[in-house]
Structure 1
């Protein structure tokens, strides 16, 4: 090789090297994201509902305020003093002090009414004493009149018959007046007794009223009925009872003394997921305050009616999860993370949710077919937060686009046979009928139906 040929090859090699460098520097910077693929997986498919909850004791002893304050037209009582929440108390220890201003006013009114009743009773006694005393004096005077008439009769025997007849008439009149006075006196005594009994009954009622108010006032200082840790009542808006809060006459609970042996996690499930939650489902429970603890539980109650919770845009349903383990370190109001195991289906094919696309109300996936691709119709099953079951349309060897390809013009659409689609439509109609059956008849129905379906027809 002469020098000229060597120089020619050197130029060509340098040019080729410059092209490679230029491509590496500028050609590799493309605005198009790299295409990612995913293959279907086969195995156990788990469907979980994840929520946040709060620990509460399943059983507790209520610390209650005074009962019966509605009788005195008192419907809400402010709280003046409270011991700190979480205080461990013994039976009889002080817990709270309520405002006595309204009950004190009622007590003063009742005392005034009692004093008035006592005055009426004393007045009635004096009136009865005076009236009966006058009646007794009148009887004595009438008795004297009868005696005088008798004497006049005895002295008239020497008088004319007319005079004798007159004094006899006077004697008879005096006797009748005495007899009538005696009957009237008995009636007056009975009237006085009845009147005094009525006034005495009112007096006793007023006394009972005062004693009742005094008894209720003594309960405005609240003491612990049992040993335990004080946990204050939560209001409907989620706020805790504090100093300055009021207790209702219809529900005078101030606090609870929880039983830590059995704890519940109270959680709320949105209206989309609640249809899959059933009593008896297992739950994995974590504690935000103690991440190292792993607890388990079971769903024991599912609310039938939804509610609007604060800071929530959708309706939620209360779900009660009972913990299987007893742990002395956990406390009420601790935040829990609950994973409710709704369903577990064996031996099914599933793909990431990102591979599913919708067109004309049908579900499709984009399959890689060598250098080309096809748009394959699929039949979907149940889904969780990440994946969805595919009953028809894919095989384990397929490569599926994780996102919509940049250029879908002219992509061939492959539809499933009508008889296959009809089979699944019939099963969906059957499922709707089953969903109308009682809950205990529906338990496990979906998982059994999923197991009966074929994995793939390809």
Structure 2
């Protein structure tokens, strides 16, 4: 603990001195004080070392299929070897049980409504048939009444009136004849005057009866007949329209009853499906093993740090729908999953060979190859740190080892190129000057152009412009900018090489190290005083514009130099 505090204080002091030197330093350091490195010729391996997590290649992923968030009430211990059908997880089902009971009641009500709708449809059809039959009968009667009047009642009435006129005429003729006789008899004093008057009255009555009969015939032919015709024809028309109305209304009632039946049927089916869904959800509250295997919690395979900020799976935890709960590996074939930084993206291709070492299995390494690189950055890492973009990379491990378990931490060395005999120097010795890639030879302030190839973040391949044995400065003047391969350009004196990363696999021969000039230590602090005011201001801005990741890398490198 004390050592970490001391290191932190030293780093803060060095940064403060650096900023102070940027602002106020104006002394020039002699070239002879610069550390140098003798360019080496020999084998060089271009590789990238990245931390990752072991995961099973072929596994069954068990997820929660319950809607919403649910609480785990029973959970099988991690590491348990299970058989097919064993209970793995049981989720809280109390809320679903209540919903199922309520839904069963709803289904019964919906079924009763459906039966009522069916009966209502039959009643509506029967009523429609009855109404239409009655309206049709009324129409038939109206037509028959019209026909009866035209062909029966009216001719009979006409004949009756004509008969009455004929009788009235005959009665009148008799009355006139009798009156004439009475007048003769009265003149001869055979009858009295009262008898004569009686015959006169009788004759007058018969005359009036004839006029009435003739008037009745005229009224029948000119008024009553026309009115009856209009009435009977109107009755026929009204009966026809009533029949049409009843047919339309009955059809509308039937259509409405059928629509209501369809609606009740659909509602009943929907409620039944909802009930079936609750029953299915209740069944899914208990998750059983689909096959034999070793129980591994999904939270254990997420890794740790910025990529795996997940709570461990325990009883009482809440899980969401489709959330991964348990992994059941099918065999011992494994993958290594790692987060490849965008700076190394162009150096890694699918199919490259790899060497995998697992922290939990010391002394053993595994071979493999890069299987896939995600086309887009990991969204979780971008959400946690928008300035950090990493790409999920899958490495297939060749060996099947039962000791490799999901969730183990590992280191993956991705081998890009291997050269048998090339010239190389530390990457911080190569800088950019006026658009050219150059190095600074020992004892010279003049840039020396070189052509570079790939680098492994420690050594860079020199294709031309430098021979083995030539000595180059490790801290070029600040008028230049460092060559950082696929990384961003940062000040030369700040971008120091990690001495502990110069492994035998990355250097030309075992035991070769970066030599120091004239006994100078290779861990000496960077010289920040050989700057013009403009260069100091520019460097200060570059430090301020560094991403959090770059500042963290700078801090780690300075910490390693000071340890």
Normalising by structure 2, report the TM-score.
0.48
Alignment of 1:177-188 (within 5 A): none
Alignment of 1:2-401 (within 5 A): 36-66=35-65, 74-120=67-113, 203=268, 206-207=271-272, 209-234=274-299, 238-239=309-310, 242-243=313-314, 244-249=316-321, 251=322, 253-307=324-378, 309=381, 310=384, 313-357=387-431, 359-362=433-436, 363-367=438-442, 373=444, 375-381=446-452, 382-401=454-473
SS of structure 1 residue aligned to 2:102:
helix
Partners in 1 of 2:427 and 2:267 — Cα distance?
80
Q: Which moved more, 1:193-202 or 1:38-47?
A: 193-202
1:316 Cα deviation after fit: 0.8
Q: Is the 8 A contact 2:34 2:473 kept in 1?
A: yes
1:304 to 1:203, Cα distance in 2 relative to 1, 3 A: closer
Q: Is the 8 A contact 1:241 1:254 kept in 2?
A: no
Aligned twin of 1:436: none
SS of structure 2 residue aligned to 1:348:
strand
1:237 to 1:312, Cα distance in 2 relative to 1, 3 A: farther
Q: Which moved more, 1:307-316 or 1:193-202?
A: 193-202
1:78 Cα deviation after fit: 3.4
Partners in 2 of 1:87 and 1:312 — Cα distance?
39
Partners in 2 of 1:317 and 1:125 — Cα distance?
62
1:404 Cα deviation after fit: 5.2
Partners in 2 of 1:259 and 1:313 — Cα distance?
38
1:325 Cα deviation after fit: 0.3
1:390 to 1:253, Cα distance in 2 relative to 1, 3 A: closer
1:390 to 1:77, Cα distance in 2 relative to 1, 3 A: same
Query: Where is the helix percentage greater, Structure 1 or Structure 2?
Result: 2
Query: Where is the strand percentage greater, Structure 1 or Structure 2?
Result: 1
1:107 Cα deviation after fit: 1.5
1:109 to 1:401, Cα distance in 2 relative to 1, 3 A: same
1:55 Cα deviation after fit: 0.6
Partners in 2 of 1:288 and 1:398 — Cα distance?
40
1:387 to 1:111, Cα distance in 2 relative to 1, 3 A: same
Q: Is the 8 A contact 1:125 1:196 kept in 2?
A: yes
Alignment of 1:412-427 (within 5 A): none
Residue correspondences, number = 319
1:84 to 1:396, Cα distance in 2 relative to 1, 3 A: same
1:311 to 1:296, Cα distance in 2 relative to 1, 3 A: farther
1:331 to 1:34, Cα distance in 2 relative to 1, 3 A: same
Q: Is the 8 A contact 1:355 1:366 kept in 2?
A: no
Q: Is the 8 A contact 1:289 1:335 kept in 2?
A: yes
Partners in 2 of 1:61 and 1:290 — Cα distance?
25
Normalising by structure 1, report the TM-score.
0.58
Cα RMSD (Å): 4.3
What are structure 2's unaligned runs of at least 5 residues?
1-29, 128-250, 479-563
Q: Is the 8 A contact 2:451 2:465 kept in 1?
A: no
Aligned twin of 1:432: none
Partners in 1 of 2:286 and 2:431 — Cα distance?
66
1:343 to 1:238, Cα distance in 2 relative to 1, 3 A: farther
Partners in 2 of 1:283 and 1:51 — Cα distance?
11
1:329 to 1:312, Cα distance in 2 relative to 1, 3 A: farther
1:326 Cα deviation after fit: 0.5
